[in-house]
Amino acid sequence: MDYTSNSNRGSIMKGRVPESIILASEERRGAEFLERIWGKRPTFVCTIGNTETAKIPGISAAGANPAITDYTPAADVELLFYGKCKCIPGVPVTPDGIPTPGLITMSAIGLSKMPVFALNGGVRVRPIAPYFELDGSPGEDIRTGNAVKDPRKVFENAVVAGENLAAHTDYLVVGESIAGGTTTALAVLLAQGYDAENKVSSSLPVNPHPIKVQAAREGMSKSRFSAAEMRKDAFKAVAAVGDPMMPAAAGVIVGAARRVPVIMAGGTQMAAVLSLIRSQEPKALDNVALGTTRWILNDKSADLIHLVKQVGSVPVLGANLDFSKSRFDGLRIYETGIVKEGVGCGGSTIAAICHSEGRLDANLMLEEIDKAYERLMTHKH
């Protein structure tokens, strides 16, 4: 009855971290984490939610216009399951027509044959696909100071899902899709007392820090909780100015990390999730790494490493993706720092590379992503 016997499977990396993976912070622990997952079999989990915060003008590029950002998480999930979206034509794009990073995740999943599960923290538009229901609600605008209903319930349901999902897999990769998520992340980090101003990334070409900070400050001042309460109790911070993805992601990570390693696949949003995890089960931090993209690590308008270091000593890994040689403008433009991260694209790429024992590299990934782009973006459906 030994459920951990499969930890003997897989080969040894032998300390040679592949060039396609960047050790960005806590290098030694990051390399050890990679050793543990080298050649092993991952499971991908996409946590989703909506927040009205995404509709504040100038906040989010996760959708062609603010109204359609409600569809982005559902469409991303469908893309991962079916290789195409069902609830919208085409795929989610930015106002400039740049496609969702879900294209990258879809390619990583295809190459590594990871099973996929979706966790609904609280969406307005449900995926046309199976998903875990956690009894959450869509999030309100954080400027109300009352953004998330009962995050503890969603967290507790997600913990149970995470424990069961971790029973038969070697490790989990937990990504997110929620438009407006860096603003809610900023707000939760500020409410928890971290130095986060001007540190979160953006999917937009120019990071709208002033709009984000203003929304966060307004929400904190409107909250029924005092600054001291929100600083002390992460659930109060999330309830006031967070989003519904956060308790779903934190819960599934906590539940899974009791059994297996977990890649927290995302950018600065995952710093807020980390803050919630630390408040509930600090031991979980020993079994996680943050997996993101080179574009996030290179983002001069933000500082992921600084955010993560404040919360805990968690290794940060980066997928060394390079789209400069893509066949398509819509992908080459990622190199200018637009979009950067989402749908766990960095972490799932790291998982695909480790699963292949390094045979997959950034060039082969780009070939796959180019093919996906060609199929989904260059003719109408």
Block residue for tokens 């923290």: 121
* Nearest CB to its own copies, comparing residues 125 and 307: 125
Beta bridge partners of 119: 47, 132
Residues 6+ apart with CB under 8 A from 211: 56, 57, 58, 59, 183
Among the candidate windows 60-68, 122-130, 192-200, 334-342, which touches its own copies by CB under 8 A? 122-130
Block residue for tokens 């040689």: 325
Q: What is the DSSP letter of 38?
A: T
Report d(CA 168, CA 177) in Å as an integer. Answer: 25
168 binds its own copies (CB under 8 A): yes
Among the candidate windows 156-164, 179-187, 201-209, 373-381, which touches its own copies by CB under 8 A? 156-164
120 binds its own copies (CB under 8 A): yes
Phi-psi region of 17 (alpha: psi -120 to 50; beta: other; left: phi over 0): beta
Choice from 6, 280, 301, 310 touching its own copies (CB under 8 A): 6
128 binds its own copies (CB under 8 A): yes
* Nearest CB to its own copies, comparing residues 6 and 310: 6
Report d(CA 27, CA 213) in Å as an integer. Answer: 31
Report d(CA 293, CA 283) in Å as an integer. Answer: 26
Choice from 33, 38, 117, 295 touching its own copies (CB under 8 A): 117
Phi-psi region of 84 (alpha: psi -120 to 50; beta: other; left: phi over 0): beta
Element (H, E) at 212: helix 209-222
Among the candidate windows 1-9, 13-21, 291-299, 368-376, which touches its own copies by CB under 8 A? 1-9
Among the candidate windows 48-56, 119-127, 207-215, 321-329, which touches its own copies by CB under 8 A? 119-127
Among the candidate windows 141-149, 166-174, 298-306, 332-340, which touches its own copies by CB under 8 A? 166-174
Among the candidate windows 141-149, 159-167, 266-274, 296-304, which touches its own copies by CB under 8 A? 159-167
Alpha carbon of residue 35 to chain centroid: 22
Number of Cβ atoms within 10 Å of the Cβ of 137: 17
* Token pair recorded at residue 225: 């909780």
12 binds its own copies (CB under 8 A): no
Contact characters 60-99, its own copies, x per CB under 8 A: ---------------------x------------------
Angle CA 25–26–31, to nearest 5: 105
164 binds its own copies (CB under 8 A): yes
Pairing of strands 316-319, 42-49: unpaired
Choice from 17, 87, 129, 338 touching its own copies (CB under 8 A): 129
144 binds its own copies (CB under 8 A): no
Residues 6+ apart with CB under 8 A from 367: none
Interaction residues for its own copies, span 22-41 (CB under 8 A)? 41
Interaction residues for its own copies, span 344-363 (CB under 8 A)? 355-356
Choice from 58, 89, 97, 115 touching its own copies (CB under 8 A): 115
Pairing of strands 288-293, 316-319: parallel
Q: 206, 94 in Cβ contact below 8 A? A: no
* Nearest CB to its own copies, comparing residues 5 and 65: 5
105 binds its own copies (CB under 8 A): no
* Nearest CB to its own copies, comparing residues 171 and 235: 171
* Nearest CB to its own copies, comparing residues 55 and 355: 355
Pairing of strands 316-319, 21-25: antiparallel
253 binds its own copies (CB under 8 A): no
4 binds its own copies (CB under 8 A): no
Residues 6+ apart with CB under 8 A from 69: 50, 54, 55, 60, 62, 63, 179, 180
Residues that bind its own copies (CB under 8 A): 1, 3, 5-6, 9, 41, 43, 81, 112-117, 119-120, 126, 128-135, 157-158, 160-161, 163-165, 167-169, 355-356
